[in-house]
Structure 1
Amino acid sequence: MSKPLQDKIAVVTGAASGIGLATSRALLEAGARVVMADRNAEALAALTTELGEGAIAQVTDLLDAQSCARMVPEVLEKTGRIDILHCNAGSYIGGELADTTPEAIDRMLNLNVNAVIKNVHAVAPHMIGRRTGDIIVTCSVAGHFPTYWEPVYSGSKWAITSFVQGLRRQMVQHNVRVAQISPGPVVSALLDDWPAENLRKAREAGGLIEPEDVAEAILFMLTRRRSVTIRDMIILPSNFDRV
């Protein structure tokens, strides 16, 4: 079986569930060693046992400034290098702006925007020094059009689109590829508050995609020739007709 990422070292945030877990599995199958970063130590312990020696647990709370700052140095102590960073961890606020709280807004922006920029800032000198690397950020289709039913979440993803595409232009001279994956609605922890019946109906209607669909797209992006960058891939359920 082909192992296109044999011996690569990947770091995935939000790796204990959803897109992060599916991507971790896909990268392991492609031959990479995967540092699975998440705040859920218990889940990481169980998953790394299940997935084998190629999976490495990294307990990090990205909303804790000190824990966030320690992540990349701690990973480098464990692995010696980072070839791939997938900034995937995020949270969601939908509905009317007036119905949320300043605390919820702060939490979401700190996780969806600030932690991503901090993680990339931490790994960039390492990749620049080695003159190689891949940085992929989980964005959203909501970062591409005015998503009126989730303006706070959409605002965070527009910020990430701007950051990723600006950074990509800075890093290309260092042979570091920077890109984003922009899914539509995905069956993940972000939909935990959906009633089970609504989730079932949306799945049956083709209105949701699975985390594995996103992971396959990420693997495609990472396995192109170094002279090719997939700068952004929008992946949608076939019946998603809002954009």
Structure 2
Amino acid sequence: MGYSLEGKNAAVTGAASGIGWASSKALLEAGATVVLVDRDAKALERVCTGYDKAIPLVIDLLDTQACKTLMPGILERLNGTLDIFHANAGLYVGGDLVDADPDDIDRMLNLNINVVMKNVRDVIKHMSPNKTGDIIVTSSLAAHFPTPWEPVYASSKWAIDCFVQTTRRQVFKDGLRIGSVSPGPVITALLDDWPQEKLDEAKASGSLVEAKEIAEIILFMLTRPRGMTIRDVVVMPTNFDL
């Protein structure tokens, strides 16, 4: 089924790879103009090549001052209007809690929770006066199940899932929709930190999904009638065994 987002302006964080790039590509191919946000300038240049409506924006969202420039930078590139925002940038810390580096914990929690909250706050302030807009947040199956091999990461996604669902109750009166997509294991660079035996087992059993499959779900969420909100989509490979 084809979905049209012709004439829409969108922005995606963590857009140079993984789910972020798959989402950006799907939005572009549906007709949207997309600002792709990432800290990796070379990767952004590479993925934007060949797409007339792809606009790169290099920002390190973990830099507090740079993070404040996200919305002004997006609006400058989109002539002042943003219709769709996909908060996707994130980090992963897996393994036993006692083995986790405290600095890595700080960076992951900051990007996965604080940055998402601040970005979404700024997006809402822009969208609310227009009485329309869509916000999608990349969550995780880990937000719905206490995954034993990733307590730090899972905790960040439990927090952000609560944030999405409570914020939704504040903004629907302004015509805004906010929802999350919660994938199980997706073939992206985030899996590089998985325990090797768990990764080998998942690959062997067909227990991973492709990023483009998550992008198709995001398009479905964005193209529902305005009176319908897809609050949260939990998606996992059929063979994935919790």
TM-score by length of 1: 0.95
Moved over 6 A (4+): 195-198
RMSD of aligned Cα (Å):
1.7
- Distance in 2, matches of 1:4 and 1:226, equals 14
Shift of 1:78: 1.1
Aligned to 1:109: 109
Offset, 1:4? 1.5
**Deviation (angstroms), 1:197:** 9.7
- Offset at 1:196? 9.0
Distance 1:169 1:194, change over 3 A: closer
SS in 2 for 1:192: helix
Instruction: Kindly provide the CA deviation profile for residues 193-225 of structure 1, in whole angstroms up to 9, marking residues without a partner as x.
Output: 469997576335221001011001111100100
Q: Tell me the equivalent position of 1:160.
A: 160
The equivalent residue for 1:88 is 88
Please state whether the residue corresponding to 2:49 is helix, strand or coil: helix
Structure 2 residues not aligned, in runs of 5+: none
Give the Cα–Cα distance (whole angstroms) in 1 for the partners of residues 56 and 72 of structure 2: 14
- Aligned-pair identity in percent equals 57
Relative to structure 1, the CA distance from residue 147 to residue 200 in structure 2 (aligned partners, 3 Å threshold; closer, same or farther) is closer
Contact 2:92 2:193 in 1 (8 A): no
Matched, 1:77 2:73: no
Match of 2:148 in 1: 148
Q: Distance in 2 between matches of 1:189 and 1:2?
A: 28
Q: Which moved more, 1:145-154 or 1:214-223?
A: 145-154
Alignment partner, residue 221 of structure 1: 221
Task: Indicate yes or no: 2:53 matched with 1:58.
Answer: no
The answer (yes or no) to whether the contact 1:3–1:29 under 8 Å persists in 2 is no
Given that 1:19 and 1:88 are in contact with CA atoms closer than 8 Å, whether structure 2 keeps it comes out as: yes
Tell me which amino acid in the other structure corresponds to 2:66.
S
Does structure 1 retain, via aligned residues, the 8 Å contact 2:134–2:176? Answer: yes
Q: Give the Cα separation in 1 of the matches to 2:226 and 2:21.
A: 25
Residues 80-120 of structure 1, C-alpha deviations (whole Å, 9 max, x = no match): 21100000010111111100121011000001000100100
Partner of 1:234: 234
Residue equivalent to 1:134: 134
Q: Is the 8 A contact 2:86 2:136 kept in 1?
A: yes
Aligned residue for 2:29?
29
SS for the counterpart of 2:81 is coil
Change (3 A) 1:64 1:54: same
Three-state SS of the structure 2 residue aligned to 1:12 is strand
Deviations 1:47-85 (A, max 9, x none): 2123x2110001011100111110111110111211000
Compared CA separation, residues 82 and 183, structure 1 to 2 (3 A): same
Counterpart CA distance in 1 for 2:169 and 2:184 is 25
CA–CA distance in 1 between the matches of 2:217 and 2:2? 17
Find the residue that maps to 2:92 and give its secondary structure: coil
CA separation in 2, counterparts of 1:20 and 1:196?
24
- What is the total number of aligned residue pairs between the two structures? 241
Q: Write the letter of the residue equivalent to 1:62.
A: L
SS in 1 for 2:122: helix
For structure 1, which runs of at least 5 residues remain unmatched after alignment? none
For residues 116-144 of structure 1, give each alpha carbon's deviation from its aligned partner in whole angstroms, at most 9, with x where no partner exists.
Answer: 00100111111001110000000001001
Paired with 2:170 and 2:213, the residues of 1 have a C-alpha distance of: 29
**Residue 212 (structure 2) aligns with:** 212
- Report SS of the residue matched to 2:61: coil
Structure 2 residue matching 1:66: 3-state secondary structure: helix
